Amino acid sequence: MNQTILTVIDNVPAARDVFKMRLSGDTSAITRPGQFVNVLIDGLYLRRPISVCDWDEDTLTLVYKVVGEGTEKMAAMTPGTKLDILMGLGNGFDVEKAGDNPVLIGGGVGIPPIYGLAKRLIAAGKTVTVAMGFASAADVLLKDELEALGCTVKIATVDGTAGEKGFVTGLLNGEYSYSYACGPIPMLKAVFDTLTCGGEYSFEERMGCGFGACMGCSCKTKYGNKRICKDGPVLVKEEIIW
Amino acid sequence: MVIDTRINLCGVEMDNPVIPASGTFDYGREFTEWYDIRCLGSFSIKGTTAEPRFGNPTPRIAECASGMLNAVGLQNPGVDVVVAEELPNIAKIYGKPVIANIGGFSVEEYVTCSEKLAACDNVGILEINISCPNVHGGGMGFGTQASSAAEVTRAVRKVTDKPIFIKLTPNVTDICEIAKAVEAEGADGISMINTLLGMRIDKRRKKPIIANVTGGYSGPAVFPVALAAVYRVYKAVNIPIMGMGGVSSAEDVIEMMMAGAAAVQVGAANLINPCACRDIINDLPRVMEKYGIEKLSDITGGAHV
Ligand SMILES: Cc1cc2nc3c(=O)[nH]c(=O)nc-3n(C[C@H](O)[C@H](O)[C@H](O)COP(=O)(O)OP(=O)(O)OC[C@H]3O[C@@H](n4cnc5c(N)ncnc54)[C@H](O)[C@@H]3O)c2cc1C
Ligand SMILES: Cc1cc2nc3c(=O)[nH]c(=O)nc-3n(C[C@H](O)[C@H](O)[C@H](O)COP(=O)(O)O)c2cc1C
Ligand code: FES
């Protein structure tokens, strides 16, 4: 973990109400896909947690949806803007557990961390299937990028305007070695009930600090009380209590 | 100019008056990943209760103008784990005496926790929180009436000779009356203020954001409220005050001390900037020089007219 100033390189639309922001600066605190950063925004008090979508030595990519005041301000940021960011927060996904053909499941803005994970799994020689669910075609996110990595990408939309009509669980008809999921709770629960293989699930909670100090984000698990920001956001299937 | 930031709080020597506030510093462990916490004057541990508590359901946090709401609800592992594990670990990572913050739902609970915590070598001061707005039935109940505040103080006083600070809520008609009542029962000092009762509503869901409905408001927005409360209580009692509420900079520390604080606690600021207290301590000499202050402890109450 560290506190760093990063500079916006570009900040462009990626889907309906969704933006992709690239920043340059020291990313050495990020150690695993599925970790997040906590962004200080001028005029707002609490930092905003956003997943690491992708990173290399000196670039960080965030993909975020405009849902309120903070993300609205982020969407208006221009290249050159400097941001105070707490980096490398949370545990992230364990790439080692993947097996040969893992499935990655994402819903809406749960997909950004799935991208960073897919990239590292492909680099490790895995056969990666990504199943993504959206409300509508206009919301489809990172599809071309995931295909370019070499993933098999399956899409479901609630209104049927892209991919199969229905929910992401309808796409999960193969045999997989392991699973990784990030998205809204009802999606996570449905995936949990559908898949028989082991897996890791990434959760969200409103946060005070993002680094384990305030107990704002606590949840109960079979392995005891955990903080989503520090002991999560990724929980293993066996420990989750719905 | 030779700058002296040391203070002495009821016999406990501190290198400076900067103290992370209870509930915003956990047991110190998380902050060792950000800076060397041995620079702190002291720190106040997470509110401790007799039994382990998970606390309130989430969401527990909401954004507010220049501040935040929290309704954590005294999540902690219980006094026995704090004594057996957390305090020994604090001795390793911090070394200096800390402030043991105690929450409770009955006079007996305050007494039990106080006895156990006072027996620990590295507990320098007991801070009795009779003012948490986030727990039903107890907590703030004790802090909102002079008689019950006095009762808790009297009971805890009987079981320890270590300094006792009573932590007061601002959510009362006359905070000075409560302060005088606990002073009369032998409190060595006052910690103030705890959070102000607040709420936010999610307008799309038409529901309160905080699962507990209300939470405690803290952060820079409450600084003037805290300052006025400390100023008034300083006039009303003759025991030292640990002042807090919105303190975020060395400038704020000086102002809080001028209002009457002998030491200053920093809460929410730690959550936004994990190095907040270190930065404040590093900046103190510069700000003291700016205002021509040589000995920091001399300025306590200096603004009184
Ligand atoms: C670990 C983690 C990773 C995340 N990754 C992403 C991501 O990659 N892309 C993305 O678009 N969103 C992500 N989110 C959700 C994102 O944090 C919120 O959408 C964002 O904080 C909303 O801020 P706002 O000011 O626009 O909304 P407002 O509603 O104005 O925010 C008010 C307060 O509520 C908090 N809040 C609101 N919604 C959420 C939420 N869903 N989760 C947590 N806190 C919330 C805000 O942080 C802020 O403190 C993530 C959340 C977490 C916890
Ligand atoms: C997340 C959070 C948790 C808190 N938990 C406690 C607690 O357990 N016991 C206590 O006495 N005060 C608790 N407080 C109150 C603070 O110690 C402090 O009195 C208050 O926040 C005002 O200071 P600030 O404006 O600097 O945050 C908590 C505050 C916050 C923000
Ligand atoms: S947000 Fe503070 S402990 Fe998780």
pLDDT in tens, B51-104: 999 999 999 999 999 999 999 999 999 999 999 999 999 999 999 999 999 998
Query: Residue range B117-139: average pLDDT?
Result: 82
Please report whether residue A47 resides in a domain.
yes
Q: Give the residue ranges of chain A where pLDDT is below 70.
A: none
Cα–Cα–Cα angle for A71, A74, A80, rounded to 5 degrees: 170
Long-range pairs for B141-147: beta carbons < 8 A, 24 or more residues apart: B142/B104, B143/B167, B143/B168, B143/B169, B143/B172, B143/B178, B143/B194, B144/B169, B144/B171, B144/B172, B144/B178, B145/B178, B146/B177, B146/B178, B146/B180, B146/B181, B147/B181
Give the tens place of pLDDT for each residue, B129-155: 998 665 555 455 788 899 999 999 999
- Do A145 and A57 lie in a common domain? no
Cα of B171 vs its chain's centroid, Å:
15
Helix, coil or strand: residue A164? strand
Domain count, chain B: 1
Tokens of A128: 């990666």
Best mutation target, A214, A227, A228, A242, to test chain B (most B CBs within 10 A): A214
- CA-to-CA distance for A102 and A95, rounded, in angstroms? 10
Q: pLDDT tens-digit profile of B94-106?
A: 999 999 999 988 9
Task: Tell me if residue A198 falls in helix, strand or coil.
Answer: coil
Could you give the ipTM of this predicted complex?
0.95
**Residue A158 alpha carbon to ligand 1 centre in Å:** 23
pLDDT exceeds cutoff 60 at B180: yes
Mean pLDDT of chain B: 95
Inter-chain CB proximity A214 and B23 less than 8 Å: yes
B208 C-alpha vs ligand 1 centroid, how far in Å? 17
Same domain as A196, residue A108: yes
Q: Are residues A115 and A200 in the same domain?
A: yes
Q: Terminal CA-to-CA distance of chain A, rounded, Å? A: 29
Task: Reduce the DSSP state of residue B301 to 3 states and report it.
Answer: coil
**Helices vs strands, H then E, count in chain B:** 11, 15
How remote is the CA of residue B160 from the centroid of ligand 2, in Å?
A: 24
Q: How many residues does chain B have?
A: 305
- CB contact (8 A) between residue B61 and residue A219: no
Which of chain A's residues have a Cβ under 8 Å away from the Cβ of B55?
215, 218
Q: In this structure, is residue A220 part of a structural domain? A: no
Could you say which ligand is closest to the alpha carbon of residue A38?
1
Rounded to whole angstroms, how far apart are CA atoms A48 and B243? 29
Query: Is position A188 within any domain?
Result: yes
Residue A222 lies in a domain: no
In a domain, A232, yes or no: no
pTM given for the model: 0.96
- Which candidate from B30, B46, B72 shows the least CB-CB separation from A216? B72
On whether residue A221 sits in a domain, the answer given is: no
At residue B287's C-alpha, the angle toward residues B283 and B290, to 5°, is 150
- At residue B1, the pLDDT reads 75
Check CB contact of A211 with chain B, cutoff 8 Å.
yes
Question: A156 and A61, same structural domain?
Answer: no
Q: Which residues line ligand 1 (CB under 6 A)?
A: A 36, 46, 48-51, 63-65, 67-71, 109, 112, 204-207, 233; B 63
A58 and A26 in one domain?
A: yes
Q: Which residues sit opposite A104 in a β-bridge?
A: A130, A180
User: CATH number of the domain that A25 lies in?
Assistant: 2.40.30.10
Say what the pLDDT of residue B138 is: 47
pLDDT of B141 reads 75
Cα distance from A224 to chain B (closest Cα, Å)?
Answer: 10
In a domain, residue A164? The reply is yes
Range of the domain at A29: 2-89
What CATH number has the domain bearing residue A188?
A: 3.40.50.80
Residue B146 CA to residue B230 CA, distance in Å, equals 17
Ligand 3 within 6 A of CB of A171 = no
A44/B contact by beta carbon, under 8 A: yes
Atom of ligand 2 lying closest to residue B67 CA: 25
Residue A225 forms part of a structural domain? no
Would you state the pLDDT for residue B2? 87
Distance CA A155, CA A164 (A): 6
User: Nearest C-alpha of chain B: how many angstroms from A34?
Assistant: 20
Nearest to A189 by CA among A181, A197, A178: A181
Range of the domain at B80: 7-299
Q: Is B64 a catalytic residue?
A: no
Domain boundary, last residue among A89, A116, A139? A89
CB-CB contact of A179 with A98 (8 Å):
no
Catalytic-role residue among B39, B132, B176, B275 = B132
Shortest-distance ligand to the CA of residue B204 = 1
What CATH number does the domain containing B71 carry?
3.20.20.70
